[in-house]
Amino acid sequence: MKKTGFTFTDDNPAGFVVKIPAEILSKSMLLTALGSGLRFPDYYGTNWDALEECIRDLSWLPDHEIILYHVDLPLIDDPAAVKIYLSVLMDAIHKWSSESTHRLKVYFPSRIQTEVEKLVAEATSPDDMS
């Protein structure tokens, strides 16, 4: 199984925490919540490409450790969209793991670990499995 880089916990993390609220069912709601919480610049276009670009930058945030704390799994009724979202998050976690300016941590509740890992596995092609 591919390592996600996500943390599964029921504890509340400390630091610069952006809480992604429960029951986000649309891409628009999710991208708006992320843009607001992460204080994305005005040019943020609320689409997947803009999310990927901004979450890999974060130069406007002074905090070293940035935590996205999900209350539940957003976009649960749209498996294709949630797979894209999880992929963007995993890429950003990987990018920030080698940087010294910021650390991005992504938290999900323990109760949805199996579901998240299943979605990640489904989104990963056999060629990417190593």
* CB-count burial class (<10 Å; 0-12, 13-18, 19+) for 13: middle
Residue 95 is encoded by which pair of tokens?
A: 């990018």
pTM of the model: 0.87
Res. 111: pLDDT tops 70: yes
Which pLDDT tens digit goes with each residue over 93-104?
999 888 888 889
Do 45 and 36 touch, CB atoms closer than 8 A?
no
> What residues does 17 pair with on adjacent strands?
67
Res. 68: pLDDT tops 90: yes
Rounded average pLDDT over 79-98: 93
Q: For each of the domains in the chain, give its residue range(s) and CATH number, in order of start.
A: 7-128 (3.30.370.10)
For residue 62, name the pLDDT band (cuts at 50, 70, 90): confident
What three-state secondary structure class fits 10?
Answer: coil
Rounded average pLDDT over 19-33: 95
pLDDT score at 1: 44
Distance CA 32, CA 30 (A): 5
Do 17 and 69 touch, CB atoms closer than 8 A?
yes
